[in-house]
Amino acid sequence: MIKYLVSILIIGSVVACGPKIADEKLAQIDELESSLDSAAERIMKVDSAMAFELVNTFEDRLAFLQYELKDTLPREEAFFVDGWFRMRKSVRKFSNSYVAIVNELKISQQQLKDLRFDAENGLVENEQFDDYVALEKENVEKVSYAAHDMMGSIEKIIPLYEKRLPRVDSLINTYKVETE
Task: List CB contacts of 161: < 8 A, sequence separation 6 or more.
Answer: 54, 58, 87, 91
Burial of 103 (0-12, 13-18, 19+ CB in 10 A): exposed
Nearest by Cα to 39 from 124, 130, 103: 103
pLDDT at 4 exceeding the cut of 90: no
Q: pLDDT tens digit string along 69-85? A: 887 888 999 999 999 99
CA dist., res. 88 & res. 124, Å (int): 47
How much is the average pLDDT of 45-49?
Answer: 88
Point out the least confidently predicted range of 35-44, 69-78, 99-108. Answer: 69-78
Report the pLDDT value the prediction gives residue 110, as an integer from 0 to 100. 96
Least confident range of 2-6, 45-49, 95-99, 121-125 = 2-6
Distances (CA, A) of 82 to 1, 73, 148: 77, 11, 26
